Amino acid sequence: MAKKDKGPGCLTYIFFLVFLGCLAIYFIFSNGFNFKTLVVYGPSQYFANIWHFHDDYYCKAKSTLKIYEDILPADSTGKDDGMKPAITLKPGKRFKLKGYRNKEYVQWIAAKAADGTDFIYGYFMVPDKIDIPTFWGSINKIQRLLGDSSSEPFSNKYFREIPRNTTEQYRGRLLDIFKTKLGGVVKLSKTTDPTKMQQIKESDNFKIIDAISSDKTVYYCPKSEYGKAETLHDAYLGNAFDTHYLQVSSTYDVLKDGNAQESLIIRVADSWYFKAFIALILLWLYRRLRKGPGTSPNSDNPGTHKRELTKEIQPPQETISMSLLPEMSVGTLKEQFKKTFGSEIRVYTTVNTKRSADDVASLSSLRDVKGSLGTVVINPYATVSQIEKVFRELGIGIQVMKSDGSLAPNNSKLLEF
């Protein structure tokens, strides 16, 4: 009797769910750090993209699409005396889908196009409710990359997604144009000999042109001409790709007109430096929130000068305190610390040196800070570094010792010895 196919096992489903979770987190963070959307389209679109797990798509218009600078009232579009569109996409023209916003009965699609040397960011209205792929659309992309032909690009009566291989074919044509024009700009050479390739790599006179080279074939030019090769590359590929791929002007010539340029604010907001800066700020805020409000010493108060360590790792315990007087000797401080906290300490002449102070020296002779001494309040679970910091802020340099006379580790706790 033939065995019945039980289908995918439990581990397969678990792996798939974990994969979906990781992918969801990726889209949340990628949209969360997409500050370009925040600058160009505003906070409403920015948070909508996070909520939708948005991913950008290259699309082609199937009908005439009028792109406006912002979302407008419905009666402001389609009239001769109404708001004029920033650009009109005819059927067959390409744009990049940057998100969408739902209204009660219509949708506004965020789009990017290029008109000559200008990038156009705006919205066009769809007088219908259509499905816009977001998270699951990205799953379909991955399926197509893995060779699953059952996943088709999305399409509706207004526009359709451009398949990835079609976009890559266009990129390949631009690469061919770059390679053809490069021979007329620099002295282009080619080699397939591994030894020669390594010599060129280590040479101070030549540079490899990575965009058209591979592991088996290397194209190179004199180092003095490499800047011209970079300029030509930037005219067709890299950030210039969208200028060509999303171009609506039939008279555009990149060599005469140049590339479309983003504004300085957009370039800064889209840079990794700015994103890293924001990430550091968020990390700092997170650590501050976890730490909670600290206790700030009031050095201007002539009364009792208290230092309390509030950071606790264990459940709250009763605090231990000892009084300090200016005329107290170093020897007396050591005895009281041993009696109060159960540990030996070394006392130094200043907070910045490791020279031991005489036992007969007074505490006032060691201090170089303003403010009076008073009561030191310490939590039993405070670390050695925290205790030493309390005395250091009072102008007294100490080192907590272990019972065997060795230095206590900074991260050890008072109760450990």
Instruction: Classify residue 403: in a domain, yes or no.
Output: yes
Share of the chain above pLDDT 90, in %: 36
Whether pLDDT at 70 is above 60: yes
Give the pLDDT confidence of 206-250 residue by residue, as tens digits: 999 999 999 999 999 999 999 999 999 999 988 899 999 999 998
Cα separation, 356 vs 133, whole angstroms: 72
Confidence of residue 304 (pLDDT cuts 50, 70, 90): very low
Mean pLDDT in residue range 174-187: 92
Retrieve residue 240's tokens. Answer: 């210039």
**Distances 310 to 350, 375, 379, 390 between C-alpha atoms, Å:** 26, 15, 7, 12
**Pairing mode, strands 320-323 and 218-222:** unpaired
Whether pLDDT at 315 is above 90: no
Q: What is the pLDDT of residue 205?
A: 95
- Based on the fold, state whether residues 98 and 170 are members of the same structural domain: no
Instruction: Classify residue 312: in a domain, yes or no.
Output: yes
Domain count, the chain: 3
Q: Which of 22-36, 108-122, 355-369, 387-401 has the lowest mean pLDDT?
A: 22-36
Cα separation, 414 vs 340, whole angstroms: 11
- What DSSP assignment string belongs to 136-154? HHHHHHHHHHTT-TTSPPP
Query: Collapsing DSSP states into helix, strand and coil, what is residue 76?
Result: helix
- Based on the fold, state whether residues 216 and 122 are members of the same structural domain: no
Give the pLDDT confidence of 130-163 residue by residue, as tens digits: 888 665 555 555 555 555 554 578 899 999 999 9
Q: Which of 238, 269, 296 is the last residue of a domain?
A: 238
- Based on the fold, state whether residues 397 and 331 are members of the same structural domain: yes
Q: Tell me the CB-side half-sphere exposure of residue 113, using CA atoms within 13 A.
A: 28
- What DSSP assignment string belongs to 196-209? HHHHHHH-SSEEE-
Cα separation, 58 vs 206, whole angstroms: 38
Instruction: Classify residue 293: in a domain, yes or no.
Output: no
Confidence of residue 80 (pLDDT cuts 50, 70, 90): low
Instruction: Classify residue 392: in a domain, yes or no.
Output: yes
Residues 6+ apart with CB under 8 A from 411: 383, 384, 385
- Based on the fold, state whether residues 104 and 190 are members of the same structural domain: no
- Based on the fold, state whether residues 122 and 22 are members of the same structural domain: yes
Between 32 and 201, whose confidence is greater?
A: 201
- Based on the fold, state whether residues 153 and 172 are members of the same structural domain: no
Query: Collapsing DSSP states into helix, strand and coil, what is residue 90?
Result: coil
Q: Which of 52-61, 174-183, 208-217, 404-413 has the lowest mean pLDDT?
A: 404-413
In this structure, are residues 345 and 399 in contact, taking their beta carbons and an 8 Å threshold? yes
- Based on the fold, state whether residues 175 and 101 are members of the same structural domain: no
Whether pLDDT at 399 is above 70: yes
C-alpha triplet 190, 191, 196: angle, nearest 5°: 130
Whether pLDDT at 358 is above 50: yes
Cα separation, 77 vs 66, whole angstroms: 9
In this structure, are residues 99 and 115 in contact, taking their beta carbons and an 8 Å threshold? no
Instruction: Classify residue 263: in a domain, yes or no.
Output: no
Q: Which of 137, 161, 185 is the last residue of a domain?
A: 161
Whether pLDDT at 332 is above 70: yes
Which element (helix H / strand E) includes 387? helix 384-393
- Based on the fold, state whether residues 22 and 134 are members of the same structural domain: yes
Instruction: Classify residue 379: in a domain, yes or no.
Output: yes
Residues 6+ apart with CB under 8 A from 190: 217, 218, 219, 220
Instruction: Classify residue 281: in a domain, yes or no.
Output: no
Cα separation, 39 vs 267, whole angstroms: 10
Predicted TM-score (pTM) of this structure: 0.60
Cα separation, 221 vs 182, whole angstroms: 10
In this structure, are residues 251 and 237 in contact, taking their beta carbons and an 8 Å threshold? no
Between 76 and 313, whose confidence is greater?
A: 76
- Based on the fold, state whether residues 132 and 190 are members of the same structural domain: no
- Based on the fold, state whether residues 230 and 181 are members of the same structural domain: yes
Q: Which of 4-18, 173-187, 197-211 has the lowest mean pLDDT?
A: 4-18
Q: Which of 137-146, 182-191, 261-270, 272-281 has the lowest mean pLDDT?
A: 137-146
Residues 6+ apart with CB under 8 A from 23: 135, 138, 139
- Based on the fold, state whether residues 122 and 135 are members of the same structural domain: yes
Neighbours of 360 (CB within 10 A): 10
Cα separation, 266 vs 38, whole angstroms: 10
Q: What is the pLDDT of residue 303?
A: 44
Instruction: Classify residue 322: in a domain, yes or no.
Output: yes
Q: Which domain holds residue 336?
A: 307-416
- Based on the fold, state whether residues 130 and 67 are members of the same structural domain: yes
Sign of CA dihedral 371, 377, 383, 384: positive
Q: What is the pLDDT of residue 255?
A: 82
